[in-house]
């Protein structure tokens, strides 16, 4: 039987991976966006996130096991909960609301939550912190990619608000 902290880490990763896939619509709107020439192919994002979230789940297990007090475990939980929220919000903003500009602002919070994870678990496990480095690097890259998409396509408007000329 798996320990509860291992189940929690697996569920954390599965929910984020599943939600990310379900909330990411590669439809005409996305295909028509101008993107930088160096953007990876769409098929690469799923495998990249699978590896990154699996490593982050492993890091959660190691950090939990390295945390020796309830207070330390609350820190680990708090870091992962904050990251869960910021990670979860990006796809609905970018793809659901079609607001790469809002997603860019939110990605700064996501990036900060990943850096906080990486630094915050270090006292409990150096390996856990190291396992989070690809997450930091990928979110850094993704944030820059998001920035370039906003720069190439902006400004964006809410789908429910009309422009000044009524169109």
Query: Does pTM top 0.85 for this prediction?
Result: yes
Which tokens hold the place of 69? Answer: 């007090």
Using CA atoms, how far apart are residues 65 and 76, in angstroms rounded to an integer? 10
User: Looking at residue 159, what is its pLDDT?
Assistant: 54
Tens of pLDDT along the chain (167 residues)?
889 998 899 888 988 888 877 777 788 999 999 999 999 998 999 899 999 999 999 999 999 999 999 999 999 999 999 999 999 999 999 999 999 999 999 999 999 999 999 999 999 999 999 999 999 999 999 999 999 999 999 888 765 444 444 44
User: Looking at residue 2, what is its pLDDT?
Assistant: 82
User: Looking at residue 162, what is its pLDDT?
Assistant: 44
The structural domains of the chain, ordered by start, are 4-32+41-153 (1.20.1260.100)
Other beta carbons within 10 angstroms of residue 23's beta carbon come to 16
User: Looking at residue 152, what is its pLDDT?
Assistant: 96
Using CA atoms, how far apart are residues 46 and 41, in angstroms rounded to an integer? 10
Q: How far is CA 28 from CA 34, 48, 62, 152, 159, in A?
A: 12, 23, 42, 17, 15
């Amino acid at each position: 039987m798996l320990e509860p902290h291992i189940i929690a880490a697996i569920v954390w990763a599965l929910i984020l991976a599943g939600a990310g896939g379900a909330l990411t619509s590669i439809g005409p709107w996305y295909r028509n966006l101008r993107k930088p020439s160096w953007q990876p192919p769409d098929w690469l994002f799923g495998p990249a996130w699978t590896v990154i979230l699996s490593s982050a789940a492993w890091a959660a297990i190691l950090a939990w096991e390295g945390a020796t007090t309830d207070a330390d475990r609350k820190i680990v939980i708090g870091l992962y909960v904050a990251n869960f929220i910021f990670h979860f919000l990006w796809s609905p903003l970018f793809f659901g609301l079609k607001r790469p500009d809002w997603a860019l602002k939110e990605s700064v919070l996501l990036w900060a939550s990943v850096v906080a994870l990486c630094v915050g678990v270090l006292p409990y496990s150096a390996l856990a912190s190291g396992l989070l480095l690809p997450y930091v690097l990928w979110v850094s890259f993704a944030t820059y990619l998001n920035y370039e998409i906003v720069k190439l396509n902006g400004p964006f408007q809410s789908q429910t608000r009309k422009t000044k000329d009524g169109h």
